Every structure is written in C-alpha cells, then in structure tokens.
Amino acid sequence: MDLLRSLPIGLYLEQPITWLHRLDSRVKLAWLLTFLLSPIWSSNVWRVAGVGTLIVLTLAARIPWRAWKQQMGWLLIITVSVFVLTCVLNDGLAIVSNPRLPEAPELPQPDNYHYVLLKIKLWNLGPWRVTRNSLYIATRFATLLFTLVYSSSLYLLTTAPEEITAGLEEMLAPLARLKIPITEILLTLTLSLRFIPLVLEEVQNLARSIRTRAISWQKIGMKQSIQIWLVVAERLVENLLLRAEQIALAMDVRGFTSPNTHRVQWHQLQLRRWDGVAIAILVLIWGVRLTWGWQI
C-alpha cells in the first residue's frame, strides 16, 4: 500500500510539464473559481458542460494516464454511484394515499410526456422508478460533486504550492491595507500544502507496521481492536507533532523571524500570450453563463 501514489490529492505533478503548468497561477485560480461558482443556480445542461470541459482540459493537457487514473478514476466511480442511487430513490415524500374513487382505465395521452421514465425490478427488490424529478436531482448532485472535487484536484495537480501562494498573495494584496496579515496566512498555507505528503507518509508507515505484525483481528475481538487503533492514532498525532516541531526548529535555526524579512521569490508572476487567451475565453464563458446559463 502506497498512500503517496494511491491518494494523490493535493500533490503536484512535476513531470511532464504540460501547458496547464505554464499558465499563470492567477489565471488558473480565476478558472478554478469559475468552475466552483458558475454551477450555482445554473441549469443541468450548464453543469454537464462544466464536467465535459474538465475532462476535455485533462485530455488536451496530455496528463499521464497514471495521474489521470488516480485523480479521476475513483471520483468517476463515486459520482456514477451517487447518480444511480439518487435516480432510483424517492423523489419526494413517501406518502401513501388511498383513492376515494375506483381506478379509472388508462386513457391515451395527447403527447409523449411521461413523468415516470423507467421502471426497474431486480430479483425481489423494487420496483424502482426513475422519474423526471429524480433524474434532475441526480444530475445536479452528481455533476456538482464531480466539479467541486476534480476542479480543485486538477488545480493542485498542475500548480506548484509556491505558485499558488504567490498568486494568492498578489491577488489579496489590497487586503493588507486593512491590516490583515496576508503574508503570514499564505506562509501557513504553503506549510500546510507541504505538510500533506508528510501526513500521508506517516499514515503509510503506521499501516505497514500494523501489517507486518500479522494481527488476527478475528481472534482479538472488537475491544482490543479498538484499543490497537487508538494507540495507532495516538502515535500518528505524536509523529505529526514531532514533524511540525522539526520544521519550526529548522526555521528558527535559520534565523526566521517574519515572512516579510525572509521572503524568497521562487516564481516570477508574469502574464504571457496564452494567459491572455485564457482570460479572454474566461470572460466569454462568464458572458454566456450570465446571459443563457440560467436556462441552457
């Protein structure tokens, strides 16, 4: 089990460098906010188009199959499962009423409209119905889940932590006039992003130590199993606190006093031609969203 490869959330893909890597972090942040905000109060067609856009961007950037499979594969499974379950669940209150009049024969409808789109019966379960309302709710929920998770994951996959903090600092610079410690906050964000692999590494090491002991969970019972996992959780917290203390000591030894006096610019933010093209497309997308995105 390698958590650093099986759970790549928040990790940066260093190689190969795609055209998404070369875009300015501020432009990519604007695109990320577009994917996060545009589905609000939008139609299902717009949400499905957002999912398709994310998939097209992933394929167009030629992200390696190993990263594509890890980033999108598990999310597609969860999204499809949520979509199917929401489709077959009740689309309203489960109210059972007895009609006062006898059942009338089914009359021919003037058009092809049907509220119940599909009836499913598997073995002794069901019958399950897929109605127009349940399909509408399932589409909204599944597309929103996929867009929120994968857009953030794709942003972290193609943007280095230093680029993220540099772009955020540039965009949040006006808030410094309100005496908000922007630099300190972004330093904390940088350390948090760098700390994610350390957390995964500690969890991986503890899981491997449990596996090597070949514990028979069936024989020791529930109570002792809970005690073992509590000890493992306590050890995990101790290791993470030790790692944090080591980072603090390393910064202290190097004479670190404040982010303002010890700033290292790893990335020079500069808008290029392709950034301008991305901004123009972004403005066009928001124009379509505000004009027709409510209906289409």
Q: For 16-60, how does the pLDDT look when each residue is reduced to its tens digit (9 = 90+)?
A: 888 888 888 888 888 898 998 888 888 888 888 888 888 888 888
pLDDT at 92: 58
Q: What are phi and psi of 267, to 5 degrees?
A: -135, 135
Show Cβ contacts of residue 151 under 8 Å, excluding neighbours closer than 6 positions.
32, 35, 36, 54
β-bridge partners, 122: 125
pLDDT at 122: 64
pLDDT of residue 97 exceeding 50, the answer is: yes
| Rounded distance between C-alpha atoms, residue 244 and residue 36, angstroms | 32
201/62 same-domain check: no
In terms of Cβ atoms closer than 10 Å to its own Cβ (0-12, 13-18, 19+), residue 98 is exposed
119/250 same-domain check: no
19/84 same-domain check: yes
Q: Could you tell me the pLDDT band of residue 1, with boundaries at 50, 70 and 90?
A: very low
Average pLDDT over residues 271-283: 86
229/151 same-domain check: no
140/247 same-domain check: no
CB 259 within 8 A of CB 184: yes
148 within domain boundaries: yes
176 within domain boundaries: no
204 within domain boundaries: yes
261/124 same-domain check: no
pLDDT at 270: 74
36/151 same-domain check: yes
What b/e string do you get for 247-275 counting C-beta neighbours within 10 Å, with b at 16 or more? eeeeeeeeeeeebeeeeeeeeeeeeeeeb
137/197 same-domain check: no
- Cis ω before 16 (30° cut-off from 0): yes
Read off the amino acid at residue 217: W
Task: For tokens 């493992």, name the residue.
Answer: 232
Domain around 7: 1-92+114-159
pLDDT at 3: 47
Read off the amino acid at residue 153: S
Query: Encoding tokens for residue 82?
Result: 């949520």
pLDDT at 164: 81
54/125 same-domain check: yes
Q: Could you tell me the pLDDT band of residue 267, with boundaries at 50, 70 and 90?
A: low
107 within domain boundaries: no
C-alpha dihedral sign at 168, 268, 34, 72: negative
164 within domain boundaries: no
180 within domain boundaries: no
206 within domain boundaries: yes
288 within domain boundaries: no
CB 198 within 8 A of CB 244: no
| Rounded distance between C-alpha atoms, residue 258 and residue 248, angstroms | 13
196/155 same-domain check: no
**Count of domains for the chain:** 2
| Radius of gyration of the chain measured on its C-alpha atoms | 26
pLDDT of residue 107 exceeding 70, the answer is: no
Tell me which residue of 186, 163, 160 sits closest to 173, measured CA to CA: 186
pTM of whole model > 0.75? no
Q: Could you tell me the pLDDT band of residue 154, with boundaries at 50, 70 and 90?
A: confident
Q: What are phi and psi of 130, to 5 degrees?
A: -110, 110
pLDDT at 104: 62
131/250 same-domain check: no
225/82 same-domain check: no
